[in-house]
Structure 1
Amino acid sequence: MPDPDLRELEAKINAAKARSAPAKPHQEEHYSQAQLAWRMVIELVAGLGIGFGIGYGLDWLFGTLPIFMVLFVMLGLAAGIKTMLRSAQEIQDKKIADMAKNDEGA
């Protein structure tokens, strides 16, 4: 039967290893960053695509020059950028909250 002091020492060593181990492996964090980047690209492209579709549809309906298409592509671009900025702010807020949580635990 192992000595109680050895078990206590082993528990302390395991606790120290757990504290110093990274929360997430580096590869998982990189994958997460790639997901976030693709999310932002998709949001921008979706805004442009929706704006183009609405503008083209209105131009076709009214038989006008591509004035509505240009107008709605610009509005779609603005909406896509606004959505990207909102996503970036969410990510930043989450990282700040995680850092604050880690600092409190230390």
Structure 2
Amino acid sequence: MGTDNKDPEQSSFEARLSRARQKAQGWDRDVEPSPLGRALTMGVHMVVGVVVGLILGVNLDEWLGTSPFLLILFLLLGFGAGLRNVIRDAMRLQREANPEMGAEAPKKADEADKADKD
């Protein structure tokens, strides 16, 4: 008559889950992205913003019958969103490369990150 009410399979699952979480947390800290990977990420941000704006603009124009106005609007919005992401990534890279630079740049980048989460 043991006091352990847990199913052995459940405790085994919990142990494996705990190990997997620890491994995932350690992996994020150990791997440093390459400069090429970061540059490609910036390019992808730019392209994806424009492509999403194009798709939304074309579909909304067809649906509402407002040919080229929404296409132009959403292309500009997509370009702006992509450019904003590239600037945010560049600020983050600059902050990591020059930790001794003024205290205002990290604050501005942190404020931009917080605004994205809201």
- Shared fold (TM-score, shorter chain, > 0.5): yes
Q: Unaligned stretches of 5+ in structure 2? A: 1-31, 102-118
Residue in structure 1 matched with residue 54 of structure 2 by the alignment: 52
Root-mean-square deviation (CA, aligned residues, Å) is: 2.1
* Count of aligned pairs: 70
TM-superposed CA distance for 1:44, in Å, is 0.2
C-alpha distance 98-38 of structure 1, shift in aligned 2 (>3 A): farther
- Name the counterpart of 1:75: 77
1:65-104 maps to which residues of 2 (within 5 A)? 65-97=67-99
Letter in 2 for 1:40: M
More divergent stretch after superposition (61-70 vs 83-92): 61-70
Give the drift of 1:98: 8.5
Q: Secondary structure at the match of 2:34?
A: helix
Structure possessing the higher relative contact order (Cα contacts under 8 Å, 6 or more residues apart): 1
Secondary structure of the corresponding residue to residue 97 of structure 1: coil
Letter of the 1:77 counterpart = F
* TM-score using structure 2 length: 0.54
Q: Of the two, which has the highest radius of gyration?
A: 1
Q: CA deviation at 1:93?
A: 0.6
**SS of match in other structure, 1:86:** helix
Higher helix share: 1
| Partner of residue 38, structure 1 | 40
SS at match of 1:84: helix
Q: Deviation per CA, 1:31-55: give whole Å up to 9, x if none.
A: 8111111000000001001111111
- CA–CA separation in structure 2 for the residues paired with 1:87 and 1:71: 24
